[in-house]
Structure 1
Amino acid sequence: MTDAAVIELRGFAISRNDTLLLEPTDMVIATGERLLITGPSGCGKSTFLKRLCALEPGNEEQVWLRGEQAARWEMPKLRKTMAYLPQTPVMLEGSVRDNLCLGLSLRVYKGMQFSDDRLRDALASVNLDIDLESNATRLSPGQKARVALLQRLMLTPDVLLCDEPIASLDQENAQLVVRVLAEAGAAGMTQIIVSHQGLPDLYGRQYRLNQARLELVE
């Protein structure tokens, strides 16, 4: 692994119920790089992300982070380094503020704090005009998706894994999310984004997951 690489896959393969979803794959992903992966529903895109960050076990010995096998990483350190954004985020009982600051309760973020002004600016960046005291569980799906994205971005992980980040958004808000992701990428955050559709104005190395192969799109 080169000094610039954040992730290396060595023989990374996925099977489920005797079905091969991804044949053994080698790949190096550089710090600050963005991978865009498309493919039809059910082809294994979400599973690929979950296996990368060990939310679904089975591939820890085939993933290397910063030159060290993921199986050797302590889970809190792994979660701080690599954040996963699911397609359908769940808000916990409590306020929007509580959910935005949820990660700060973890020991690895000890001493980190967000002011209300910073939280409001973050909400405004994705067109969320909601009170910090609002009940997060009562937000619309599109609002929840943007709050969940901000929750991850504000913790500044080295790697962000996004599963269909604009699926529940209208065109205007999808464009805002794409802009926020682009800004985070420009600041050095590595991103792996899966979608069944293309993401306009978001650039990076593009793959299509097809018949258990990650095919580079030229």
Structure 2
Amino acid sequence: MIELKDINKSYGNKKVIDHLDLIIPDGQILAIVGPSGGGKTTLLRTLAGLETAESGTFLLDGQPFDPSDTKQDQVVGVVFQDFQLFPHLSVLDNITIGPRLVLKEDKETYLKKARNLASLLGIEELLDNYPFQLSGGQKQRLAIARAMAMDPRVLAYDEPTSALDPELRQQVEKLILDLKADGVTQIVVTHDLVFAENIADELLKVEPIS
């Protein structure tokens, strides 16, 4: 379980996160919804250690942790809105680059993990392909596999249905719910309230701070 206590974040004089308390139980889906400027992505980036909170405490299973500490195991893995795949690397190499270079796993371990994740996410036939050869939905599955390969406690998505047609949105819904059935704890940042209500165990509605 991840717990946030009294988290605050500002950009200059602009308060973005104000004394936030939040609990994210293991195996559940939290959807963070609200308009642009409400702090959804900032909260996600702060949880992932890509932004630093000015004050407050982060707890993992009751023990304090610093999301920005690169020397500890990754707690939150992010699937970015634009995927941020490496175009010059194959699907397999995109999945394995983190476990190989950051986690320092041996070849047998990271290859087995990559193949298992590719099978779980339905891209096992695409391991030799490159990102430009993939559809939007396949790129998203690859981005999820790459994030999961780092063994995070929580998988987080920034606007996963942005610019997707209704059929692809339903596929993303199913994928997120399938991962929940496998015990994956997930955070979804979205402006799409209907999508959020379809997948979430809990909704956190945020608004810009005046």
TM-score relative to the length of structure 2: 0.81
Residues 69-128 of structure 1: per-residue CA shift (max 9 Å, x gap): 22398524342x32111111111121112112222214536242335864653453xxx5
Q: Following the alignment from structure 1 to structure 2, what is the Cα–Cα distance between the partners of residues 72 and 134?
A: 33
Equivalent in the alignment of 1:211: 208
**How far 1:130 sits from its partner (Å)?**
6.4
Which amino acid in the other structure matches residue 35 of structure 2? P
Secondary structure of the 1:167 match is: coil
Aligned counterparts of 1:100 and 1:107: Cα–Cα separation in 2: 12
Alignment partner of 1:152 is 2:144: no
Tell me if 1:16 matches 2:40.
Answer: no
Q: Distance in 2 between matches of 1:72 and 1:150?
A: 21
Distance in 2 separating the partners of 1:132 and 1:145:
14
CA 61–105 in structure 1, closer or farther in 2 if over 3 Å, else same: farther
Distance 1:209 1:189, change over 3 A: same
Contact residue 39 and residue 208 of structure 2 kept, 8 A: no
For 2:174 and 2:148, the matched residues in 1 are separated by 13
1:142-168 per-position Cα deviation (integer Å, ceiling 9, x unaligned): 442231012223554211111111214
**Structure 2 residue aligned with 1:121:** 119
2:182 is equivalent to residue 187 of structure 1: yes
Across the aligned residues of Structure 1 and Structure 2, the Cα RMSD in angstroms comes to 2.8
1:89 aligns with 2:89: no
Equivalent residues of 1:83, 1:161 under 8 A apart: yes
Give 1:40's aligned residue: 35
1:196 to 169, 172, 191: 191
Following the alignment from structure 1 to structure 2, what is the Cα–Cα distance between the partners of residues 25 and 119? 34
Counterpart AA for 1:82:
V
Give the distance between the partners of 1:147 and 1:168, measured in 2 at CA: 18
Where do 5+ consecutive residues of structure 2 fail to align? none
Cα separation, 2, equivalents of 1:170 and 1:42: 24
Query: Matched residue of 2:199: which SS?
Result: coil
The one-letter code matched in structure 1 to 2:47 is L
Aligned position for 2:96: 101
| TM-score normalised per structure 1 | 0.79
The 10-residue stretch of structure 1 (157-166 or 146-155) with the greater mean CA deviation from structure 2: 146-155
Taking every aligned residue pair, what percent have the same amino acid on both sides? 28
**Within 2, Cα distance between the matches of 1:86 and 1:72?**
17
- Answer whether contact 1:101 1:114 (CA < 8 A) is retained: yes
Offset at 1:19? 0.8
8 Å contact kept, 1:45–1:209: yes
The verdict on how the C-alpha distance between 1:150 and 1:20 changes in structure 2, with shifts beyond 3 A counting, is same
Q: Following the alignment from structure 2 to structure 1, what is the Cα–Cα distance between the partners of residues 5 and 40?
A: 18
Q: In structure 2, the residue corresponding to 1:57 is in which secondary structure?
A: coil
